[in-house]
Structure 1
Amino acid sequence: MKKLKMDPREQIPFNFLFRGPPGSGKTSTARRMGKIFYDMGFLATAKVVECSSTDLVGQFVGQTDPKTQNLLTKALGKVLFIDEAYRLTEGNYAQEAMDELVDYLTKPKFSQKLIVILAGYDENINRLISTNPGLTSRFPDTISFGQLPPENCLELLQAYLRKAGKLESSTVQAPSTTFRNTLLELFRNLAQLRAWANARDVKTLAKSIIGKVLSSTTTDTKLEVTEDTVLSIARQMVSEREHRASSVRSPGHPAALPTQNFSHQDPPIPPAFNTVTKATAKNYQSVPPQLPEPSSQNIDQENLGRDPTTEREKLYLKLLTQEEEAQKQLTSRVAAELEARRRADEESDAEARRMLEEERLKREHELREQIEIVARIEQEKKARQQERRKEDAVQAKVKQMGVCVVGFR
């Protein structure tokens, strides 16, 4: 491209979609891409800025835009890796963050200045693309990650055990045919489960094996990983994951839920308004309903036709009316205070203007006095100069007349 005098930035993509199951290498690939783009000179550093949707989405109106812009500014010259990007479709603020991200990627400040990677599961990334038509053109390149084959899982387990140091894991590094086939079958069973996290769970399996060896080995014996230990831990993981999957599929037996008899219960009356304060509600709760006690011998006809629900409604409406009246009084009192403050501010401003005007007039008067003094001094100076010129003229005439015979000058 250099020979053709073409700009490689126009041909190389800077935005990617990573979709695949967990633990399939999306984050590791993002770090590797940062190193490659840095070596090619397209990035200022190979650093990867990892974030999630919470780093983009604001909590109130007007917060999402600056958060998105600040995050993109922070990632300039780097790789911005947004994990669980499908959350950008949940909620109004999240949708706003997605729209702002798509818009900023086309602006000169950010276009081709950083690598942006949206990562998530297959179905979630597909749903994300369908919710925003602009994503297809901004993120034309997609990298799909699949499940790790059982053979790769075994190789990864061997690598984790080799890093354990003094652990003797020759049975895993050079497994027998039966042991290898059994372990591969267990990995196949795990891969069929929805919650299988590939390399992440292989690392968890290796940690469990190492912990089992350390807990069951004394100081005098060698730290050896046996076939039974590996198979027991692997089978335990398969059993636990299958149990979790079955628990998710079946919500539980209905008999375990508590049952209540609602046939003789009156439905609760919802409040008509939401303007009652806590103090009013407290007062309302403290007032018991005035209901007559029933008597088997003498029942008042007036109390017989009285509905307790109606009494509660009347009491509630009375309290609500009192609350509204108190609110009106509070509003009028606040308005009066604001009006008094406004008048005080106006009077204060008028006093300040009056003092400024007096100061201005005082300075003008002083300036006029100074001008008059300077004018008088100038006039006196001119008068003295004129008197001196007259004296000089008289002396000149005397010299022209000659010396006095008597000796006067």
Structure 2
Amino acid sequence: MKAGKPATLVRYLIMAVLIVAAALPGLAAAEERDQETMETSQPITFPVKFKRATGDPMNNVATDGKGTIITLSDKFLNITRDYGKTWEARRLPSSEPYFEIDYLDGLYYITNDYRYSGEPHYYSSDGATWTPFYLKAPDGKKLGINNIQKVNGKWIAVTTNEKLDSLHIFTSKDGKEWARAGALTDILWSGSKVYIVPSGKGYAAIAGGHRYFNYKKTTVPNNFLTEPKGGEGADLIVYTSLDLEEWTLRSGAEGNFRYNWYTLNLATGERVPARDYHIYEEEPLEKGNIRFYDVYSNQLSSKDGITFTLKKAQPIFQKYSLGDYRTPIFKANNQYYVFAQFWNGPGGQHTRVLISKDKTNWKETALKNVPRNMYVIQSGKYFIGYNETEMLISSDGLTWKKIK
């Protein structure tokens, strides 16, 4: 017995060392997770400066579809809770301008994407009290927000920093507390919004693509003849993941194309093809029915979020492409609406509405007494039209009333 005690002690010491050694990777991983954890501060109430709307230029607009509309300018939030009958102006706390305000499932977000310079993002449930927060990459770099969505009941944020050659994916249970899930190695900040969509048992990330000259028919997936007159083609960048952590590129890899434009990867200094094939959400994204439109008003559709088909834009839409603006397809009053801007020689941009019962046969109507280059969003049973200085409201898309 006496001879056995030292040996027993040695065994205990060895076991203790092994336990500590085994724990070290976990501690390192925990430390890395701590670096990735979002940083928040105490909520701030943006002070009311005026019981009216200000006249400074609007950067963006968000609405809850129930009467509340919030406009974002460099210095103020202008808020109405009754579709423009009354307004209040609340002062932003930062000297940095913000360009994005969004509403999703009960929460407003004030964020910046590629223009991000390290200022806090904010979320709020009422537009008055806002919680500042930062999202960070594993190396501690603060990230701008490219897109926030809800997919399969899960909140997902795509985050960016132009000095990184990766996009970081964050998830949340409530849209307030975020945790990093994974990353895509790409500089997609230079192109479209990145849309996360359901794909089988996992997810797909759709990220616009590259435009190129001299299109030739190919079996390479998601390569399209986008502009037949000029022979211009484009590829679509698609990644897939089962868990939002590990991502696989399915289409859009750099190939032997004569690309339309090149840009600089600021993270590596490499000259790379620009992500200049922009896509936009055509209708609400849902499993089995994923629809986008591109810069030529062509429609891109997919059932699985991986393989897309391109349908050439209808003739009535072909005039609204590249430099022109059009909205997604809105549904109201048992019919479909698309609002678009067109150039009318020296007269500048004017707005038209296209209305259809079946999304095939469209009637085009020029809108009168509305501001030039008017953008349109849907808010419940109303349409909200705005440019930098004015805001209007309409229930039928044809008759508009100024509310700001």
Shorter-chain TM range is under 0.3
Structure 1 or 2: larger helix share?
1
Larger Rg: 1
Structure 1 or 2: larger strand share?
2
